[in-house]
Amino acid sequence: MAVGFSFKQRMRGTFHRLTDPGTELPFELTTQLLLPLPELLRRRTGRVTGTIDAEGLATRAPFSGTVQIDLRDRKIVYDVHFHGDDDRPRRFHGETEFWMRRAVRAMEEVVGRIYDGAEEEARVLASVKLTTGIRRMLRTLRAGFTTHLAANED
């Protein structure tokens, strides 16, 4: 049992399939981040779960994966796995720049890719509105033992 914290975040934006780059489709990633302090300090890693909505690809598909805070390269990296509407396994890999002087602003925009196996299938641009997104994140921020925080995920 470790001490840590958790919060929720919703990113919205668009994606396009590589086979049809001119058609932008809606994208939404709803996340619950669980950050145990020992993992965060040792490996700068936490767990992330939630749902992904990508029109024609995944409808409220549950996912799980990791979030890594890479201070050297100044990036936050999301790496999650889910199944598409066609029941094929997919992977979303997203990154955002992280600047300590602008930590809140750093979480505003995520650039990502969706993979079908080893093949890149789509590109994503998603963001969190600073005003509503940060308020929601702060409202859902919880500190405590990570087993308790994980049990209370909605």
List beta partners, residue 90: 82, 116
What radius of gyration do the chain's Cα atoms show?
15
pLDDT at residue 139 in the model: 61
DSSP, collapsed to helix, strand or coil, labels residue 139 as helix
| pLDDT, one tens digit for every residue, the chain (154 residues) | 677 777 788 889 999 999 999 999 999 999 888 877 777 677 788 899 999 999 999 999 999 999 998 877 888 899 999 999 999 999 999 998 866 565 555 557 889 999 999 999 999 999 876 555 555 655 665 566 655 445 444 4
Tokens at 146, concatenated: 């990570």
Q: Which tokens go with 51?
A: 């749902």
Give the pLDDT score at 76.
86
Half-sphere exposure of residue 112, counting CA atoms within 13 Å on the CB side? 29
Q: What are phi and psi of 38, to 5 degrees?
A: -60, -40
pTM higher than the cut 0.85: no
Using DSSP's 3-state secondary structure scheme, residue 152 falls into: coil
